[in-house]
Structure 1
């Protein structure tokens, strides 16, 4: 990563006082990898909402605009890379979208990773009126990192078969002009499992998650995109900030001029970045889970809505014990001791599947 040392990232996402989600999960890893990071908070909360109780404020569009204006007047908006995450309301997102357009107009080569934080597991975290604004932002991005539900929401395509996945990726690449798409933490449904390349088939009767990357092709006679994929073992339990960490690592390791090595001739800049982001994120989760397993029993209680409601601190203790062990994982973030990354494998014949 030495060749990227000194590059500047502008991070626009949520902030919590305690724990590691949003900017708290993204900024430190970027700094560990040599990036200067300028931070704009879209919310200022005590802790993430998974604790059940939290306090703080959301940044208004006027507050965001005031920050943007002062930075522009002082010539402080000088990023080579931009990362946007959780932005709760349409007015705030519109203000951010305006800033992105201004920066892109001055810096056409800006590397912009858009994490369209909309929701998960069929539930929106934000107001529905942010969805069309995100769709208008998509063409400005270099990389997007939606989860499964967010892909379905943005493309209005229910993902329940290989043809529906192909349709969604085509829409993102062709209609919305997104060059690079990464979808992580995908449950391995039977229709996906049966279509995977043999080289990455997980052991039978095991729980794994899938990551898919798709990079637009510049060759007019080639398929719509180059698709790579890889599996990682599922670590059971509730963790927050994982997507924020993954997106930060993805942005950090994305090198547009990366050339594929002889032993991985089909590697793309995106699949290279996704390999490192996937490997490091999973290693941080393993370390976090190992720590959580050492905690007293009262801090390892399973989720029980009735008991949590009756005793709110029961939920608090459980959440607190599963905060990402980022500070304790600096070696992992920097790449020490992780060995070769879990490489994203080229999914040959993906576009020929039916």
Structure 2
């Protein structure tokens, strides 16, 4: 018998010819999980911007809208269903059960993607729509400020979002400096923007966060500093309750890697199966404890992403010394090839790690830990 696929995903993300960021970091992992993936490239660049030298074409709003229109005309975006009964009724729904959106260049192009999300969600309310609001990182915007209100409007169509801490701050207009501000930001996303599942993909482990986290979510290495770790937080809610929050710290690997957020978001979508609850994959550790579908997906995404980063780091460490030089902006500016060699050696090892992606290789499992009492006010 032919092998059944896990479903069909529409991926709307950036594309690079060389390397693994954007869709190049997302599509192959989703295919390894059994999904058919149809790809819309929002940019077509030579390589990612970390090389210093890069270029190519950016899709315009008109080009994206025309592409979506042609897909719809050819029956590739929507599919016809026949309801039987006393009368035969034809109706149309989204052909896709899943969709993922990453980097989109410019406000007008982003608006075209948002309009498509609205149409797909209207035709199929059960669409699992993962939005990775690629705004920036470490206090710096990657996109024009005009994109911010469009992302905020697009949040209502999402099933899952995967921003980093800075993107959460931008979307909610909330500086995250303590537990109270973290609660406020999640309330804004859940209550004001009606996002049911929020993943803060990475947040620096500051002293206030370490003190607030459940003990089982904190680093076990007492000799390490907070700077050696990032925290990942997931929060799931429904109309009848406050959210259920989980968290976990993961160790940072030294050096600069690109495409990590794109890979992580794809793996979250690939493992996300809405259901009341699923048994913990770490049953020996957690006993009869149940985890939310989001926490289950995030745990697998964290574990596989960290394993692939470890594989990439080990590969980079084995390169000739000329290809693993430390970051030095002044030297990089004088000798562009210096940065190019370093970036080239740190491209994600997705093909070499495909057994990790498929779950055929053993990896350290980063179980998401329930954050009991998260919403308890002092």
Taking structure 1 as the reference length, the TM-score comes to: 0.96
Question: 2:143: which partner in 1?
Answer: 126
1:56-111 Cα deviation digits (max 9, x unpaired): 01001111111101000001012110000000200000111111111111111000
Question: 2:337: which partner in 1?
Answer: 313
Secondary structure, aligned partner of 1:298: helix
1:2-48 Cα deviation digits (max 9, x unpaired): x9834000000100000000000000000010000000000000000
Question: 1:338: which partner in 2?
Answer: 362
State whether residues 4 and 35 of structure 1, in contact with CA within 8 Å, keep that contact through their aligned partners in structure 2.
no
State whether residues 157 and 168 of structure 1, in contact with CA within 8 Å, keep that contact through their aligned partners in structure 2.
yes
Matched, 1:102 2:126: no
- Matches of residues 1-354 of structure 1 in structure 2 within 5 Å? 5-77=5-77, 78-202=95-219, 203-206=221-224, 207-220=228-241, 224-257=242-275, 259-261=277-279, 263-338=287-362, 341-352=365-376, 354=378
Alpha-carbon RMSD across the aligned residues, in angstroms, is 1.6
| Matched length | 350
Deviation at 1:259, TM superposition (A): 2.8
Secondary structure, aligned partner of 1:128: coil
Deviation at 1:353, TM superposition (A): 5.1
Which structure has the greater CA radius of gyration? Answer: 2
Distance 1:123 1:259 in 2: 37
Q: Given the superposition, is the C-alpha separation of residues 278 and 12 from structure 1 closer, same or farther in structure 2, using an over 3 Å criterion?
A: same
Secondary structure, aligned partner of 2:114: helix
Unaligned runs of 5+ in 2: 78-94
1:158-194 Cα deviation digits (max 9, x unpaired): 0000000000000000000000000122211000001
State whether residues 22 and 85 of structure 1, in contact with CA within 8 Å, keep that contact through their aligned partners in structure 2.
yes
Distance 2:5 2:329 in 1: 46
State whether residues 11 and 37 of structure 2, in contact with CA within 8 Å, keep that contact through their aligned partners in structure 1.
yes
Shift >6 Å, 4+ stretches: none
Secondary structure, aligned partner of 2:375: helix
Q: Given the superposition, is the C-alpha separation of residues 92 and 332 from structure 1 closer, same or farther in structure 2, using an over 3 Å criterion?
A: same
Distance 1:121 1:6 in 2: 35
Judging by fraction of residues, say which structure has more strand.
2
Distance 1:34 1:258 in 2: 23
1:114-137 Cα deviation digits (max 9, x unpaired): 000000011100011010000001
Q: Given the superposition, is the C-alpha separation of residues 264 and 126 from structure 1 closer, same or farther in structure 2, using an over 3 Å criterion?
A: farther
Distance 1:136 1:311 in 2: 43
1:205-240 Cα deviation digits (max 9, x unpaired): 3222111000014444xxx21000111111011000
Deviation at 1:286, TM superposition (A): 0.2
Taking structure 2 as the reference length, the TM-score comes to: 0.90
Distance 1:145 1:301 in 2: 31
